[in-house]
Amino acid sequence: MTVSLSVCLSLSLCLSVSLPACLSVSQVNFVVCQLCALLSAFWFRLFLHPSRTRPVVRHVVATLLGLYFALFCFGWYALHFLVQSGLTYGIMILTGVEHMHKYCLLVALGYLSFCQITRVYVFDYGMYSADFTGPMMVITQKITSLAFEIHDGERMPSLLEYFSYSCNFMGILAGPTCSYNDYIAFIEGGACRHRDLEPHRKANGKLRQSEPSPNTEVVRKVFTCFLSLMVFLSVCKVFPVERNVDDDFIANTPLYAQVVYLYLSMLTTRPKYYFVWTMADAINNAAGFGFNGYNSDGSPRWDLISNLRILDIEFATSFKVFLDNWNIQTAHWLKRVCYERCPYNPTAATFILSAMWHGAYPGYYLTFLTGIIITLAARAVRHNVRPYFLGSPAHKLLYDIITWAATQIAVCYTVVPFVLLSVGPSLKFYRSVETTGRRRHEDTRLISQPKVLYIKTVQQTQEVIPFSHTHTHTHTHTNLRTLRKRSPPLTTVK
């Protein structure tokens, strides 16, 4: 522990000096803890391998390391993790299996909401620091998922297994959420053996390894983290999202430029999520957790608990594809506990639950309420329009290009309140989009009526230009009378 503490303090000091002002001190501490967790994960896999270490030892070490990192990163606020987990475990013991999943969801989500409300409205509204409610969001997913699994017939875990599952060092800071059965199989060493029992164990003439090494995948994901962090630190101040609601920007910028800037400003907010979730995935893989069988070419897959697919996100051609590849484990959790079980309007219920889980900022609710409308509209468009573009590859390519652009703009439009947080700036953004679009529509409509514009131009010329010659003056009036007879009255044009 002393060695780990000195390493964490040294890394924290070095990074706080070297990294620019885009990251706060608490966020630097978060990055340091994740790097230490990555090193600990390699040690955990190599020296506490399940083939020579009892499961109880692995449970104890994983739990103690997790609590240690939580205390280092969040201080005594980390006690909320134990309180929330303890309350729901008591409910699992005291209530029957028939209703325990409902009570656990209510208590866990209620305690999370209480902490989020007090942090936002009592302590530091609008501060995007590494707050302690972030890990509580992941713990809420885990303990409610476990409650639903027990309700569906799984066995009740011991207290040690329960805290190891909810507070282990690999996922306590940034997740991702995983199934309780998958985690227990990893601790006991049965995950690889279970997924290796496939009908075709040979690929390309080579026998697949019974326990593949995650090193290559970890290196690839760490490199992705490094690139994401560098991109975020480079552009975090170049395209601020707040400029989308700046009065001068709205008044003096053409519509197409506003749309392009909207896309770029929201695009530059995503690398920080890529960094956090990819690093969390790499930590679990380094510990040996996340093996998901083999690809068709015989290469091992380490995406069991992956939380995103970056290329599928950036090139998504529908709102659904974007959501299916963004925060994947949260989407699975919402599907298990809400979408598949809600008898009335599961889409709306799922978005509302997601907003409550995310936090107390009003912008979250605006985002997810908008998401309901966008989702339903996207379904209708895909169902009614897409069949007309499947006749040829060229038409399909054109459809993909159009839907990619529409999807990216729709996502940006939906997510802006999520970043702005407050009601005022969010509604100002929506009003600016509506006003700019209406102004562009009016300009287009006027341009499409050249006759009306010509009449107005002639009238203005008559009023402004002084005619010095009687002949010219009379000739102009004659032309105007003739033109009025041939043209519809101006009162019909709004």
Active site residues: 327, 358
Q: Which residue has the tokens 């912008």?
A: 363
Contact in structure between 304 and 291 (CB atoms under 8 Å): yes
What b/e string do you get for 441-462 counting C-beta neighbours within 10 Å, with b at 16 or more? Answer: eeeeeeeeeeebeebeeeeeee
Contact in structure between 88 and 104 (CB atoms under 8 Å): yes
Angle at 366 between CA 242 and CA 112, to 5 degrees: 100
- Prior bond of 176 cis (ω within 30°): yes
* H-type alpha helices, 202-318: 215-235, 247-252, 255-267, 270-286, 310-314
Strands (E), 84-209: 202-203, 206-207
Alpha-carbon 62 to chain mean position: 27
* H-type alpha helices, 359-494: 362-385, 393-420, 423-447, 450-464, 470-486
Long-range contacts of 216-221 (CB under 8 A, 24+ apart): 217/282, 217/285, 217/300, 217/302, 218/38, 218/282, 218/285, 218/286, 221/278, 221/279, 221/281, 221/282, 221/285
The type of residue at 246 is D
